Amino acid sequence: MTSRPVVRFLDRSTPPHIFTLVLLTSLSALAMNVFLPSLNNMTLHFGTEYWVMQLSVSLYLAVNAVLQIFIGPVSDRFGRRPVLIWSIVAFILATIGTLLATTAVTFLFFRMAQAIVVATMVLSRAVVRDMVPQDEAASMIGYITMGMAIVPMFAPVFGGLLDQAFGWQASFVLMLAFGLLTLFLTWRDLGETAVIRPITLADQFRQYPELLVSQRFWGYCLAAALAVGGFFAYLGGAPFVGSELFGLGPAELGLYFGAPAVGYALGNFVSGRYSVRIGINRMILTGSVSTVIGIAVLMMLYSAGLAGAAVFFALFSTVGFGNGLVLPNATAGMLSVRPHLAGSASGLGGAMMIGGGAALSALAGVVLAGGTSAMPLLIVMLVPSIGAVASILFVMRRAARLGLK
């Protein structure tokens, strides 16, 4: 991509600056985890139980998954730009709703509405695939998500500090401000990159079977979904482990909680640097194996009583590193199976990833409830990570038969 000013009078036929894509993806990441250190205080504020407020993670992810099924085809039909702009506007209104909520039910309703922000993650990937071929897309997505990793790295820290200083609502004020900034920059910088095809939405959805009959599409989706499933289990269970088992306060929990993002940033940097040279399949395999090894080592240390809070959370950086290798490359793979359906592929693949993540996040909360050990969480994370290794091995075997990389 050629260098250009980030903010300019928009030529709507031009692609966006890479910083705009980073900001779009970062908004989705911020909305997902900035408030997690506040879950205990939110439980007290609304006078409910912890598992109810934990639904703000698992139900949010479930709605994310459903929305992605529709976002992709709608953007293929009407364009990336209008869908992104209206989605950010809806997110801003929903965030205002969470701040005005007086009951847990009302809060959860608006929290579910915030899930529309997933369009920024889905369509930033589709925009990349609109512009460049498969391996280059993996490299560019790697750099974009490396930038995005800065947000989940520091968001829980800021969320914990904001909670201590101003209360849990401060995290949602931060989301509101970030949403307004992203809306402004998207309006000014993001041109339309999709080739709009004059077909109905019904026709768009009828093309889903073209993706679903592809074994390689399923393989890439499962590799991504199972790899990221371990991370979403972490999102659902780690706040309980940190606050209830290790006795961490919101600020300290926020500091520890961002450990996987450090590894994720490094993994995305490696993806951006080497995906074109090494190939997406080998990158996915490397990331999946490193995740399994990291969780297995942590399980052994924890069983031996050698994993205090610092060691426990620090070792999750290996999970982040593995995800940093898997996700950009698996995403590029699933978008490249049928390039003319990039938006639909991004939405459907994302729905599988987030849907599986929602289930594992809820499962983590259930298996930890009332417990005194973090081992159930580690088991919930290990099993899908092993599945990710099996999925990419299937893809590599299939690709070898077809004579593909």
Structure-token pair, residue 175: 């989301």
Question: DSSP per residue over 64-102, as a string?
Answer: HHHHHHHHHHHHHHH-HHHHHHHHHHHHHHHHHHHHH--
pLDDT at 340 over 70: no
Q: Answer whether 338's CB lies under 8 Å from 118's CB.
A: no
Give the contacts of 202 (CB within 8 A, at least 6 positions apart). none
Question: Could you tell me which residue, 273 or 116, shows the higher pLDDT?
Answer: 116
Structure-token pair, residue 50: 């912890």
- Taking the C-alpha atoms of residue 48 and residue 57, their distance in angstroms, rounded to an integer, is 16
pLDDT value at residue 3:
42
Question: Could you tell me which residue, 147 or 98, shows the higher pLDDT?
Answer: 98
pLDDT value at residue 397:
87
Give the contacts of 195 (CB within 8 A, at least 6 positions apart). 130
Tell me the H-state helices in 213-338. 215-240, 250-257, 259-278, 280-303, 309-314, 317-336
* The CATH number of domain 18-402 is 1.20.1250.20: yes
pLDDT at 195 over 70: no
Q: Write the DSSP symbol of residue 16.
A: P
Instruction: Please write the tens of the pLDDT for every residue from 93-106.
Output: 999 999 999 999 99
pLDDT at 107 over 90: yes
Please give the share of the chain, as a percent, with pLDDT higher than 70: 84
Averaged pLDDT, 214-230: 86
Q: Write the DSSP symbol of residue 372.
A: S
Q: Answer whether 265's CB lies under 8 Å from 324's CB.
A: yes
- CA angle in degrees (0–180, nearest 5) for 368-266-353: 50
Give Cα separations from 299 to 315, 375, 380 (angstroms).
Answer: 10, 7, 12
- Taking the C-alpha atoms of residue 386 and residue 369, their distance in angstroms, rounded to an integer, is 25
Q: Where does 265-341 show beta strands of DSSP type E?
A: none
Structure-token pair, residue 43: 């439980």
Averaged pLDDT, 51-78: 81
Q: Please provide the distance, in angstroms rounded to a whole number, between the alpha carbons at the two ends of the chain.
A: 25
Name residue, tokens 């005194």: 372
pLDDT at 171 over 70: yes
Question: DSSP per residue over 138-161, as a string?
Answer: HHHHHHHHHHHHHHHHHHHHHHHH
Averaged pLDDT, 393-405: 78
What average pLDDT does the structure give for the chain?
Answer: 81
Least confident of 45-49, 145-149, 376-380: 145-149
- Give the best-scoring range by mean pLDDT among 270-274, 280-284, 328-332: 280-284
- Counting every residue written for the chain, the total comes to 405
pLDDT at 25 over 90: no
- CA angle in degrees (0–180, nearest 5) for 351-346-215: 85
Considering only the C-alpha atoms of the chain, give the largest distance between any 2 of them, rounded to a whole number of Å.
62
pLDDT value at residue 153:
64
Q: Return the amino acid letter for 394.
A: F
Question: Could you tell me which residue, 24 or 61, shows the higher pLDDT?
Answer: 24
Q: Return the amino acid letter for 211.
A: L
126 closest CA partner among 83, 181, 163: 83
- Hey, where are the domains in the chain? 18-402
pLDDT category of residue 148 using cuts at 50, 70 and 90:
low
pLDDT category of residue 65 using cuts at 50, 70 and 90:
confident
Question: Could you tell me which residue, 314 or 89, shows the higher pLDDT?
Answer: 89
Instruction: Please write the tens of the pLDDT for every residue from 1-15.
Output: 444 434 333 444 566
pLDDT at 238 over 90: no
Q: Return the amino acid letter for 273.
A: R
- Taking the C-alpha atoms of residue 186 and residue 7, their distance in angstroms, rounded to an integer, is 9
Q: What are the two backbone dihedrals, phi and then psi, of residue 232, each rounded to the nearest 5 degrees?
A: -70, -35
pLDDT value at residue 268:
80
pLDDT value at residue 8:
39
pLDDT category of residue 404 using cuts at 50, 70 and 90:
low
Cα-based torsion angle of the residue sequence 134, 396, 356, 217 in order, rounded to the nearest 10 degrees: 50
Question: DSSP per residue over 258-269, as a string?
Answer: THHHHHHHHHHH
